[in-house]
Amino acid sequence: MTDSRKYFGTDGVRGRVGETPITPEFCLRLGWAVGRVFAGRGSGKVLIGKDTRISGYMLEAVLEAGLSSAGANVSLLGPMPTPAVAYLTRTLRADAGIVISASHNPYYDNGIKFFDGSGNKLPDETELAIEAELDRKMVCVASDKLGRAERMEDARGRYIEFCKATIDRNVRLNGLRVVLDCAHGATYHVAPGVFEELGADVFVIGNEPDGRNINEGVGSTAPQALAAKVLELRADIGIAFDGDGDRLAMVDHTGQILDGDELLYIIATHRADAKTLGGGVVGTVMSNLGLENAFKSRDIPFVRAAVGDRYVKEAMSSRSWELGGESSGHIICLDVATTGDGIVAALQVLLPMIQSGRSLADLKSGMQKMPQVMKNVSVPAPKDVAQSDDVLAAVRAVEAEMGSRGRVLLRPSGTEPVVRVMVEGEDLSEVTMYTDRLVDDVEAAGRRRGPAAVSVSGGD
């Protein structure tokens, strides 16, 4: 992503509702700008899906108005997971798909994400073209050129069938006790149908959205409620999605929570054993060192990309690899989907369970996560602080002391004025000591940058 973007971040446009750019006025213009770019292409059809935030109704209405005023036709999908919009955009031969969602953020945030006609994130040149239109005067097309809008009634059924088709039709989940946590989000009316139709005994929490409770104490960012429910019901497995359904966490029968690194390990090793891996695996700079070591012991190629599913997918595509993911639970299986998909990834994890008869706890046992401590340090000019001579020297000193027993990562945030300090190693007390030492160094460098206060919080 180039620095010339005024509105687009690494994944569309996002912010707090009522504050620029997530206002009715701006999103009306955004819809018009998108319509201007896509109305002259192919069918001129644009799909709009959303999660369950109360602001989704407002933003859907203004985006629809903006698109139709530019001559684009609109199909409204209602609440649908982000990967469902990507899939439907591609299969319905639409020119673009729009998702109204802020993913795992609280309900008072929202965002606008985009897919091209192939179900991929928009290329840079298309985002730049949309931004160029946003700088022009908004003019409505003539009445006979206005776009039409329709509500698509069978979107849910189409997507459920797609999810089921990503695993062999002979695979059944009969007898498997599954607890689903839908985060009061976009999967609430989709995920239960997928697993029920595959034969599982399904129990659901987080499936009562009220517009304000999305991700609140539930979902992949708060899987403790799911873990408790798995133990209570003596279930075989728990699956938690985030608000828009593109990431997941899972819980084994003992109540242990598995993050994206462990899920990626299970999928990758199963595919390696079946000789269907399709190259190697892409992680990120945040992927646990234990994952890298486990892959090394299995001779599975592994590379790290920058944080963000966009960068993971770019690294996969450049190598023609089919599997990648993030610790946060974004798992991308390019052989079956064009983007991260929580439901699809969960089914890929269940495959080795069903085919081997082993539990999730047993399948993850080949990977030993290393202790990892991350703290956020609020400083002025985080990028400059992280690259300052004193901080770089401090990092080199810690790396020299740890040697091959661990690693250090300092990452300035792209969305807030913090430097994320992460240390990973074999011994938790040592890792904590080194983290605190580096936090002190970053704080000191921040104070030298200016009078802004510095503060420290746990990592996200």
13-153 and 259-369: identical CATH topology: yes
CB 351 within 8 A of CB 340: no
Confidence grade of residue 459 (pLDDT, cut at 50, 70, 90) = low
Q: Which of 244, 204, 210, 245 is nearest to 226 (CA)?
A: 204
Output the furthest CA–CA distance in the chain (Å, rounded): 72
- Its CATH architecture, for the domain 13-153, is 3-Layer(aba) Sandwich (3.40)
- Indicate the domain borders of the chain: 13-153, 172-257, 259-369, 372-458
Mean pLDDT of 104-110: 96
Which pLDDT value is given to residue 42? 73
Please compute the mean of the pLDDT values over residues 90-111 and round it to a whole number: 96
* Portion of the chain with pLDDT greater than 90, in percent: 91
CATH for 172-257 is: 3.40.120.10
* Gap between the Cα atoms of 181 and 216, Å rounded: 12
Q: Which of 103, 327, 328, 388 is catalytic?
A: 103
Entry pTM: 0.92
287 is catalytic: no
Fold of the CATH domain 259-369: Alpha-D-Glucose-1,6-Bisphosphate; Chain A, domain 3 (3.40.120)
pLDDT in tens, 39-92: 877 778 999 999 999 999 999 999 999 999 999 999 999 999 999 999 999 999
**Residue 147 one-letter amino acid:** G
Has domain 372-458 been given CATH number 3.30.310.50? Answer: yes
